[in-house]
Amino acid sequence: MSGTGEAIELQPQLPPARLFIGGEWVEPEGNRSFPTENPATEEVICEVASASAADVDRPVEAARCAQDGDWGEISARDRGKLIWRLADALEERIEDFAVVETMDNGKPIFESLYVDMPSVVDCLRYYAGWADKITGETLPLSGPMVLNYTLREPVGVVGAITPWNFPLLLASWKIGPALACGNTVVHKPASLTALSALKLAALATEVGIPAGVLNVVPGGGAEVGGTMVSHPRINKIAFTGSTVVGVGIAKQAADTVKRLSLELGGKSPNIVFADSDLDAAAKGAFNGIFYGKGEVCAAGSRLFVERSAHDEILEKLVARTERLQPGDPLHPKTRLGALVSKGQRESVLSYVEKGCGEGAEVAIGGTAAEVDGKGYFMQPTVLTGVDNSMAVAQEEIFGPVLVTIPFDEPEEAVTLANASIYGLAAGVWSRDIGKAHRVAAQIEAGTVWINQYNWYDAGAPFGGYKQSGYGRELGRQALDLYTETKTVFVGK
């Protein structure tokens, strides 16, 4: 795809309206389905099978069987090879997957093709490499008459529940390490964007990953996800989604003392000091909020700017934002796609209205938009005159809406940044690297970017402080989420 070409017209391969269980397409109970919509055109892409609570036993048993059979028996090195093969196969079909993701979610093809899908491939390869390097320890104990060692064993059947904003990418953050550690997976993708997950599971079987290792059951959150959370034969839930749902899952998972990792919401501060490279900071603030339509858990949605630089940063930001027009997500030049659904756009617009009602001013944007008379688009929006206590500064809007707030001293910036229930990510911009490091250390967040924003890597752990969740995905740290440690004492 060239950066200047026409809209992509590839007809993607769509999965059948079936669940993917035990290596094959199967009908859900009652043959239920729901339509999945392209939010840019408001057209139905296809029907997606809808699992019910009664459908959850089947994938769990398939996963259990694979765990006790083929998957549990192959060597760790062969497991790694199979995950690597899946990454290769996905890379060969990358345009097909990217088009499906863009149609289902509304994100620009530029992002699906050059960021999301390559990152999925990279994540799978990163964990394929780990598969035969997950080791225990031998431990020196207090007495001479005992040998002690530890084993790292798979947790068992993992229930993965994922959101709609980076559908396949966030699934790969779970599937990659779960499979590398020898687990099997039952995946419930978000209903709005289930297509790529179904395609990946079918591809896994095609490349030789044993039947039952990766099962996909789209369906209602409370009905299918909730049944998974309380299912006695699922050993662990790996959840990414909103804090409110995550809290409910944590309570429900407690009944079976299920292993649980939670990647939840955010309201990330991006702090710009007057001594930073202001052009770079304005560009970083712009990308920090408008990349992915702002439907990004770590979006830099609160911009704190040192007062003496506030107006200059705002001017640069508005100038950039004026050039960002919503467009056909399948066009290679588009950088702002459609919000994922009508309901999501209504929710984002209602925040803008509420903010203005509380005294915020619209510096740019603030309204819905259409492309060719259709779609759930929205103008990229910057609000000023915002107090950190307002809803637009405290609640996750999950759309292309930035609030700017001036500050005077570094300590004040840290206090304002930390005055949030969330702690997912943060940005710090300064040429004084000592100050930047000090501020980074004081920020309550799982990730801090200095003089950049939105950088992710399969090798670097990612996760939240406070109500942004617990556990770290990616990196070596994610292996801890998918293994149990067994201690073995041997008498000498």
Residues binding ligand NAD (CB under 6 A): 161-165, 170, 188, 190-191, 221-222, 225-226, 229, 240-242, 245, 248-249, 263-266, 297, 396, 398, 424, 464, 468-469
Alpha helices of 188-277 — where are they, by DSSP H?
A: 195-206, 226-230, 243-254
Q: Give catalytic status of residue 297 as yes or no.
A: yes
Q: Look at residue 43 and give its three-state secondary structure.
A: strand
- Least Cβ distance, residue 400 to ligand NAD (angstroms): 14
As measured in angstroms, the least distance from the Cβ of 261 to ligand NAD is 10
Question: Is 103 or 170 the residue whose CB approaches ligand NAD more closely?
Answer: 170
Min CB(239)–ligand NAD separation in Å: 7
Backbone angles phi, psi at 110, to 5 degrees: -55, -40
User: What is the closest distance, in whole angstroms, from the C-beta atom of residue 165 to ligand NAD in the complex?
Assistant: 5
Neighbouring residues of 332: CB distance < 8 A, sequence distance ≥ 6: 1, 2, 3, 4, 5, 7, 8, 109, 110
Please identify, using beta-carbon distances, which residue of 222 and 488 lies nearer to ligand NAD. Answer: 222
Nearer to ligand NAD, 221 or 461 (CB): 221
Task: State the DSSP code for 453.
Answer: -
Residue 204 backbone class (left: φ over 0; alpha: ψ -120 to 50; beta: rest): alpha
For 2, residues 6+ apart whose C-beta sits below 8 A from its C-beta are 332
Residue of 148, 175, 210, 155 whose CA lies nearest to 90: 175
Torsion (CA) 42, 327, 304, 243 in degrees, nearest 10: 20
Helices 278-290 and 307-322, axial angle in degrees (round to 10): 60
- Closest to ligand NAD by CB, 99 vs 194, is 194
Pairing verdict, β 368-371 and 374-378: antiparallel
- Torsion region of 294: left, alpha or beta (phi above 0 gives left; psi -120 to 50 gives alpha): left
Choice between 157 and 305, CB closer to ligand NAD: 157
Q: Residues 101, 111, 263, 444: which is the catalytic one?
A: 263
In the complex with ligand NAD, which residue's Cβ is closer, 399 or 406?
399
Q: Which of 101, 123, 181, 297 is catalytic?
A: 297
Show the beta-strand stretches assigned E in 155-258. Answer: 157-161, 184-188, 214-216, 236-240
Q: Rounded CA gap, 120 and 132, in Å?
A: 20
Which residue's CB is nearer to ligand NAD, number 205 or number 240?
240
Instruction: List 26's β-bridge partners, or say none.
Output: 19
**Shortest Cβ distance from residue 26 to ligand NAD (Å)?**
20
Q: Which element (helix H / strand E) includes 24?
A: strand 24-26
Chain-centre distance of CA 339, in angstroms?
16
User: Catalytic site residue 101?
Assistant: no
Which is closer to ligand NAD, CB of 101 or CB of 396? Answer: 396
Taking the complex as a whole, how short is the minimal distance between the CB of residue 115 and ligand NAD, in angstroms?
14
Helix spans in 291-423 (H)? 307-322, 342-357, 391-394, 410-418
Minimum distance, C-beta of residue 130 to ligand NAD, in the bound complex (Å): 20
Q: Which residues are catalytic?
A: 263, 297
